[in-house]
Structure 1
């Protein structure tokens, strides 16, 4: 009986301590000490060895390759080196995100603040990778 009571008391202290720690982390987030949304994110492609790295603040992107062999197939290729946000004050973590399409080489990049959509294409060929177009309304 004593052991059960002590176990319950110990469990209560552990849960209470965890809750206080989480509350402290939320306070730090509210004070701007930490960002809950990452500046950079990796998005998988349908190619096992290729990811797209996105700067979620301004839409810059890189094609990231990795390999388990010791060769030159690792590194980053530029998809978009120009920011899509022209005012640095409007750069916000999480502003941009990528959505895969059924086409292996294409993604849609969404500006979650302005609502602009860009077609992004990755490729090993430099003339076939980058932001292909801005998708706008279809005129009837």
Structure 2
């Protein structure tokens, strides 16, 4: 038994040295570019990814919400919270658009965080800033006196 333990004790220093060697080899950076060409292709790839993200972000900036009136739609700028009333018609003289809210309600740039939710009243919606949790009560109408927006505290 003593002979067995002495053999085990003899191998312990070898295990310690082997652990030290493997740890020191980890310090090599395995993802660093080996030359300037690799570095340039990596930067080009990252630039392409950023460009595609920007295009997707810009393409989702505006949303159209239907109302219960089949001729009236509400356009929302999801980045700023600005609202526009759109009336379409088969007769061009009956088509128009009107500003519901031209105020930039965003606190942060570039989030596309605004969303419009209908209520049971066909003329009223709730505007929500999903980034901050702020709410607004929105009413639309064909006359300017019937259109307004106010903050809900």
TM-score, normalised to structure 2's length? 0.62
- 1:108 corresponds to: 126
- The residue that corresponds to 1:62 in the other structure is 84
**Cα root mean square deviation, aligned:** 2.0
SS of 2:94's partner is coil
The size of the alignment, in residue pairs, is 105
> Hey, what's the Cα distance between the residues in 2 that align with 1:44 and 1:121?
14
Structure 2's unaligned 5+ residue stretches are: 1-47
Alignment match of 1:52 (pick from 74, 85, 89):
74
Larger Rg: 2
Query: Does 2:112 match 1:94?
Result: yes
Q: Secondary structure at the match of 2:56?
A: coil
Counterpart position of 2:105: 84
* Partner Cα distance (2:105, 2:79) in 1: 9
Moved over 6 A (4+): none
CA distance in 2, matches of 1:29, 1:63: 33
Per the TM alignment, residue 105 of structure 1 is displaced from its structure 2 partner at its CA by: 0.3
- Pick 1 or 2: higher relative contact order, CA cutoff 8 A, min separation 6: 1
Return the TM-score normalized by structure 1. 0.67
